[in-house]
Amino acid sequence: MALPRHAAGLKHNGRSEVHPILKLVAQRLALGVLLLLAASVLIFAGTSILPGDVAQSILGQSATPEALENMRRELGLNEPAVSRYFSWLGGILQGDLGTALTNGRDIADSLGGRLKNTMFLAFWAAVISVPLAIFLGLLAVRYKDRWPDKLISAVTLTTISIPEFMIGYVLIYFVAIKWGMFSSVAIINDGMSLGDKLNAIAIPVMVLTLVVLAHMMRMTRAAILNVMQSAYVETAELKGLGMLKIIRKHAFPNAIAPIVNVVMLNLAYLVVGVVVVEVVFAYPGMGQYLVDHVSKRDVPVVQACGLIFAAVYIGLNLIADIVSILANPRLRHPK
């Protein structure tokens, strides 16, 4: 009965009730932008204090001193770091991410394709793992402390404990090599049909699902069990409602906030944290792209990737906050 009560609350308080939410969102957005700026400074400082020299990293072990000097001059590396930072920032504000120091390509172009791929993989992994995790969580609550609960916990905790590259290798060995079912190389390109693409990413999606499942499942289980202790659920039980109906109608809406938070955290992981999986399956996502450019000290690209990653994190957390506030009126009245 949670939902009607929200609606009533909104109607009753009128404008003064809606306003704080907008204000809150605006506040969060402004904070997010500030955070992004701070992140860009951090990334810039971080890449500057890394050992090694951009020109040497690009040209490799066999570069002559003249070639190194020519490259430094062309890249503007002889200018002070602060002025390089601000000229880059100026470009960003005009929507220009610049060109990569290493291969002179337009960063927005190369990054766009990589971002699309990352999102594609994250999307399919999320489509499978989020509903599955929540369903398994609910199932675990329904059969709390009985064998289905224990089995679900044991399996998901095992898969989260194994390093993801190991799960990847094991799946490649069985699924791709022994059974010949899906591709072990997940390279996708624009010329492929959706079916081909899904075939290519099938094993990485399995790996990612196994990796993120446990966290979301356990949080769903814990949040709902927590709510189940409360008095109104006891009342519902005494009214004679079925277990699943109690979970669905009373416990779940009140447990949404923590679940949404952990789901968003895992979605963020699927976007920014899958570099190991990308390497194992040679998937052309952003992680590998970022790592390559970090090792060559290609600061503009690292900055651009860092900004996007930071934006994804901040954005998803923003969504989680807003959903929590909408789901739980108590959060709208900060004490």
Rg (C-alpha) for the chain, rounded Å, is: 24
Report if residue 48 touches another protein, rule: CB under 8 A: no
Which C-beta is closer to another protein: that of 101 or that of 268?
Answer: 101
Report if residue 295 touches another protein, rule: CB under 8 A: yes
Residue 71 C-beta: closest distance to another protein, Å? 5
Cα–Cα distance, 269 to 299 (Å, whole number): 23
Residue 82 C-beta: closest distance to another protein, Å? 23
Residue 96 C-beta: closest distance to another protein, Å? 20
Please tell me the count of residues contacting another protein according to CB under 8 A: 49
Within 10 A of 1 (CB to CB), how many other CB atoms are there?
A: 9
Report if residue 195 touches another protein, rule: CB under 8 A: no
Which C-beta is closer to another protein: that of 103 or that of 158?
Answer: 103
**Of 243, 232, 164, residue with least CA distance to 204:** 164
Name the β-bridge partners of 99: 106
Q: Which of 18, 33, 185, 192 binds another protein (CB under 8 A)?
A: 185
Residue 24 C-beta: closest distance to another protein, Å? 40
What's the burial of 291, exposed, middle or buried (CB within 10 Å: 0-12/13-18/19+)? middle
Residue 186 C-beta: closest distance to another protein, Å? 9
Q: What is the largest CA-CA distance in the chain?
A: 85
What's the burial of 247, exposed, middle or buried (CB within 10 Å: 0-12/13-18/19+)? buried
Report if residue 319 touches another protein, rule: CB under 8 A: no
Within 63-92, which residues bind another protein (CB under 8 A)? 63-67, 70-71, 74
226-244 exposure pattern, b = at least 16 Cβ within 10 A, e = fewer:
ebbeeeebeebeeeebeee
Rule CB under 8 A: which residues touch another protein?
A: 50-53, 56-67, 70-71, 74, 100, 102-105, 110, 113, 169, 172-173, 176-177, 180, 183-185, 187, 189, 279-282, 284, 288-289, 292-293, 295-296, 298
